[in-house]
């Protein structure tokens, strides 16, 4: 007959011990948690109407909007009227009535961008929020791309 002196059953372990959870390594890294934070944020809060197209972006692209290096080139992503209201919004001056975004719309976009950045970063600056807004706007189609050069197929070219 076998000797069971060293035998321990699962019943001898208490289910109340927290040591089991501490011994288990965490298989998810910090970035995974940030992606989940962004997904939960998107489910709870939709973007403002001016940037509603960002719902079609993936979580990785939105993470990049929040964490990529600072971008300041607003004029490369929106037309001149929007640039003017952008400048008047950030300098807290009155905007001329145009068809561009109003100060309220910029404020809503900024608030949403700030909440997006908070999903990924703990310490935020206004420069990072502005950069996030510019990156979000860069996915929209506010400026027409420059016209390319048309080239005929080789068979139709003159020789």
- The answer to whether residue 3 sits within a structural domain is no
Which comes out higher in pLDDT, residue 130 or 14? 130
Encode pLDDT of 57-115 as tens digits.
999 999 999 999 999 999 999 998 899 899 999 998 887 777 688 899 999 999 999 99
Residue 48 belongs to domain spanning = 30-138
- The answer to whether residue 40 sits within a structural domain is yes
At 141, the pLDDT band (50, 70, 90 cuts) reads: confident
Amino acid 23: pLDDT: 64
pLDDT reading at 51 higher than 90: yes
- The answer to whether residue 62 sits within a structural domain is yes
Q: Which string of b and e fits 79-112 if b means at least 16 CB within 10 Å? A: eeebeebbebbeeeeebeeeebbebebbebbbeb
Amino acid 63: pLDDT: 95
Whether the full predicted model's pTM is greater than 0.75, yes or no, is no
Amino acid 146: pLDDT: 65
> Looking at residues 3-22, what average pLDDT do you find?
58
Which comes out higher in pLDDT, residue 43 or 153? 43
- How many domains is the chain built from? 1
- The answer to whether residue 13 sits within a structural domain is no
pLDDT reading at 12 higher than 90: no
Q: Which of 24-33, 61-70, 147-156 has the lowest mean pLDDT?
A: 147-156
Q: Residue 92: which region, alpha, beta or left (left: phi > 0; alpha: psi -120 to 50)?
A: left
Distance CA 18, CA 156 (A): 76
Which comes out higher in pLDDT, residue 4 or 39? 39
- The answer to whether residue 112 sits within a structural domain is yes
């Amino acid at each position: 007959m076998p000797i069971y002196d060293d035998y321990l059953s699962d019943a001898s372990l208490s289910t109340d011990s927290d040591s089991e959870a501490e011994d288990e390594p965490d298989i998810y890294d910090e970035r995974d948690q940030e992606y989940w934070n962004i997904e939960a944020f998107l489910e709870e809060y939709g973007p403002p109407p001016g940037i509603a197209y960002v719902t079609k972006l993936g979580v990785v692209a939105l993470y990049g909007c929040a964490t990529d290096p600072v971008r300041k080139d607003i004029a490369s992503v929106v037309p001149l009227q929007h640039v003017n209201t952008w400048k008047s919004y950030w300098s807290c001056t009155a905007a001329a009535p145009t068809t561009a975004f109003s100060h309220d719309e910029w404020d809503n976009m900024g608030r949403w961008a700030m909440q997006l950045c908070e999903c990924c970063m703990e310490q935020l600056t206004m420069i990072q929020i502005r950069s996030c807004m510019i990156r979000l706007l860069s996915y929209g189609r506010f400026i027409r791309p420059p016209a390319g050069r048309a080239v005929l197929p080789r068979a139709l070219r003159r020789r």
